[in-house]
Amino acid sequence: MSKLLWKSLLVSPVVLGAALVSSGGEVRATESTNPNLAETLAITEVNEVQVTENQLSELPEEPASAAEAQVNENQLSELPEALAPATELAQVTPATPSNETEILNQLDQYSREGKSESQLTSITELTDVSPGDWAYDALRELVEDYKCIVGYPDRTFRGNRPTSRYEFAAGLRACLDRIQELIAAGGVVTEEDLEKLRTLIQQFDAELAVLGTRVDNLDARVAFLEDHQFSTTTKLQGEVIFALTDSFPDDQETFALQDVFALNPVAAAALGADAAGNITVDNDTETIFGDRVRLVLNTSFTGTDSLITRLAAGNLGAFDINGPGTLNTGETFQTFNLGDTGGNDVVVDWLAYYFNWEASSLYVAAFGGIHSDYVANTFNPYFEDFDGGNGALSTFASENPIYRIGGGAGGAITLGVGPLESILGPNAALTLGYLAGPDAANPTNGNGIANGEYSALGQLSFNLGDRIGIGLTYNHAYHRARSPIFDLGGGRADAGFSGGVVGSFAANNPGLLGLAVGANAAPTVTNSYGGSIALRLSENISISGFGTYTDAILIEQGEAEIWTYGGGIAFANAGKEGNVLGIFGGAQPYAGSIDVFNNAASFRVDDVPYHIEAFYKYQVSDNISVTPGVIWLLNPNQTEADAVIGTLRTTFTF
C-alpha cells in the first residue's frame, strides 16, 4: 500500500504525522476512489502478502511481537476501540531486523532520503501534492498546524513510496516531540489525539526503543568521528601491490644488432657487437619480489569536483630482455613497474583537479597527467585499471598505447556533441586535451608548457546501441632527441638512450637512426591515429580491441611508420563474483620502417613483437585480490629470441 494511502487511513492529523514513515516492510493496498479518512486504517505488511476481504478479521488489542514473522487469520482479534475502522483489515507483523547492522542500515537510508533543507510551512511547498489528492486535507493539517512533516530536498512528498516500520517509528517520534512542544507552549492537544498516539506508541514500542538507543549511539559515534576525522573535505584511498615475478628462459641470446636498430659499425662496436654485427645479450634474470604503493588524497570542495594528490613508492623495475647495452625495450613493463622509485622513496607522482563547467567536464593536471586520466572512455573493460592492480598485468594489455604518447602538466575538456547525439547516441562525447612534457615547470628558454615536449589529443567517444562502444583518437606530439615516444611524458634519459613503457626500442626511438650515418639524433613529431572498440556479448563476457598507426617525422632527417594493435576477451565473475579471467593478444608498438637522408640509412621490420597474455584475478574479499598470470613475448625488441614472464600479484585496496 502506498505511503499516501497509509496516511489517508489515519483518523487524526497527529496520527497521520506519525505515519510519514511506516512499518517493517513495504506497504501495499488498492486505492479507493473516495476513501473516508475517519473510517479507514491500514497496517503495513513486510512480505507484501495479498489479503482479500474474506481473509480479514478483527485485529488484536495488542499487536503481534516484532519477533514474529507472520500471523494468520486465527491470530487476529479485536481492534482497539479508539482505532476501530468501519472496514475489516489484516495485519502481518514483520520479523525484526536480523542484527544491529541491518537496523543501522535502515536508519541510515531513511536519514539520507528524508533529509530536507528546511521545515515546511505550507502544503503548497510540496510540488507533488495537489488539492485533488484524497489525503490533501490531512496532509495540510500536519504541515500547517502540527508542523511535523518535512519534504524531500527537491520539495516533493512522494506519497506513493513504500515505507518501513522504522521510518514509521521515526515519524511517530517526531510527532511526539512536536506535541511536547505544543503542550509546553500552552497549545491545545485534544484527548482524542492523545489516545490515538498512546495506541500507536504501544504498537511501535519496540521500534521506538531501538530507535532511541541507536540515535543515542549514533550521536556518540558522530561526535567521535568529528573529533578524530582526517579532514572534512578529503578522503584517503590507497592501493598496495605485492608482486612475485620472473622471466624465462634464463640464457644468453645472440642475434644481429641490425634486428634491434641500424647502427654504424662504430656505434655497434660500442654496444658490444662483433665484426659481423652480431651481439650476445644475457637474458638471465632472478625471481624478484617487491611492491608498489599508491596513496590518494581525494579532496572535494563543492561535492562535484575532485582534487587528486597521489603519493607513490615502489621498488620493482622492468625486466631487460633482448636489450643490448642501453637499447632497452618497453615490452616487459607491467603496471606495477610504473611507480618504481628505486628504493621505495615516496614521491608525488600525480596532482590533478577535476571539475564541471555547465555541461562540460574539465581536467587540469599540475604534474603527472596522462591522457587516459581524462578521456571519456578507453574502451578496454576489465583490462583497464589505469595501471592499478586489478586489471591486466602488462601496460600493453591495459590500454591502447596511443594514450601513452606524452604526458605531464596541462588540461583537457570533455564536451557533449550536441546535434550529433541523434546519430552517435546520448553518451557521445568529444574530448580535447593538451599535456606538456617533463620540462613544463622549467622557465628556461626552450622549455615551459609551450616550447618543450608536448602532446595534444582529441577523441570522439560514442555507443552503437547498448552493447558497443567506440573511440576514435588522434594524438599529435613533439619529442626531443633521445626522448622515447611512448614515455607517459617521462622524457629522455640523462645519458645514453631510454626505452618507453610499452613497445620496442626502435618504435620508441626512430630519431636515433641518424646515428648510423654519423648524424645527430633527431627530434620527432608524431601524428597517431587510433581506434578502440568494446563489445559486451553478455552480462559477464566482454570483447575489446584497438589499433594505432603513427606517422613519425624525423625533423630534417626522414620519417618512420609505427604500428600496434591488440584485442582481448574478458570473463567477469568467472567462478566467483568479482573474479576476472582475461586473455589478450596483439602486437606491441613496433617500427615498420625508418628512413633517413633519402634512404642513406633505413630500417625495415623483420620480426613483429607479438604479445600474448592471460591472467586470472581472484577476488579474495572486497579489498584483496590475487592475480596469477603469464605473458608470452614473441620476438621481443623485434628479434627472434622469445621470452615468458610469470607473475603472481596481490592487490590490497582501501
Consecutive 10-residue averages of pLDDT for the chain (654 residues): 37 38 35 36 34 37 37 35 33 42 53 50 78 77 74 74 70 74 72 74 72 74 75 92 92 68 58 69 89 97 95 95 79 95 94 93 97 96 97 98 98 86 82 96 92 96 92 97 93 72 94 81 96 96 98 96 98 96 98 89 85 98 98 91 95 97
Q: From residue 620, give the alpha-carbon distance in Å to each of 387, 390, 545.
A: 20, 12, 28
* Beta strands 524-536; 541-554: pairing state: antiparallel
Residue among 263, 309, 316 at smallest CA distance from 288: 316
In contact, 520 and 481? CB cutoff 8 Å: yes
What residues contact residue 168 under an 8 Å CB cut-off, 6+ apart?
Answer: 18, 19, 20, 21, 22, 23, 44, 204, 207
Tell me the pTM. Answer: 0.68
What residues contact residue 438 under an 8 Å CB cut-off, 6+ apart?
Answer: 408, 452, 453, 489, 490, 491
Bridge partners (DSSP) listed for residue 585: 567, 612
Regarding whether 171 and 262 lie in a shared domain, the answer is: no
| Domain endpoint, select from 198, 228, 258 | 228
Regarding whether 201 and 298 lie in a shared domain, the answer is: no
Regarding whether 612 and 522 lie in a shared domain, the answer is: yes
Measured CA to CA, the distance from residue 507 to residue 641 in angstroms comes to 18
Measured CA to CA, the distance from residue 172 to residue 19 in angstroms comes to 7
- Domain count along the chain: 2
Regarding whether 248 and 168 lie in a shared domain, the answer is: no
Measured CA to CA, the distance from residue 56 to residue 72 in angstroms comes to 10
Q: Which residues of 165-201 are buried (b: 16+ CB within 10 A; e: fewer)?
A: bbbbbbbbbbbbebbeebeeeeeeeeeebeebbebbe
| Domain endpoint, select from 228, 255, 288 | 228
Measured CA to CA, the distance from residue 183 to residue 190 in angstroms comes to 11
Regarding whether 193 and 252 lie in a shared domain, the answer is: no
User: What's the first-to-final CA gap in the chain, in angstroms?
Assistant: 41
Regarding whether 246 and 213 lie in a shared domain, the answer is: no
In contact, 137 and 248? CB cutoff 8 Å: no
In contact, 399 and 373? CB cutoff 8 Å: no
Regarding whether 344 and 218 lie in a shared domain, the answer is: no
- CATH number of 433's domain: 2.40.160.10
pLDDT of residue 147: 74
Torsion of Cα atoms, 416 then 422 then 423 then 428, to 10°: 20
pLDDT of residue 272: 61
Crossing angle between the packed helical segments 191-203 and 205-228, to the nearest 10 degrees:
80
Half-sphere exposure for 471 (CA within 13 Å, toward CB): 27
Regarding whether 325 and 210 lie in a shared domain, the answer is: no
Regarding whether 338 and 462 lie in a shared domain, the answer is: yes
Regarding whether 64 and 172 lie in a shared domain, the answer is: yes
Regarding whether 276 and 198 lie in a shared domain, the answer is: no
Assigned C-alpha cell, 535 = 563489445
Burial status of residue 472 (CB atoms within 10 A of its CB: 0-12, 13-18, 19 or more): middle
Burial status of residue 286 (CB atoms within 10 A of its CB: 0-12, 13-18, 19 or more): exposed
Regarding whether 238 and 210 lie in a shared domain, the answer is: no
Q: What is the DSSP string of 4-63?
A: HHHHHT-SSHHHHHHTTS--SS----PPPSS--TTT------TT-----GGG-BPPPSSP
| Domain endpoint, select from 228, 250, 266 | 228
Does residue 249 have a cis bond before it (omega within 30 degrees)? yes
Measured CA to CA, the distance from residue 579 to residue 625 in angstroms comes to 9
> What domain range includes position 7?
3-228
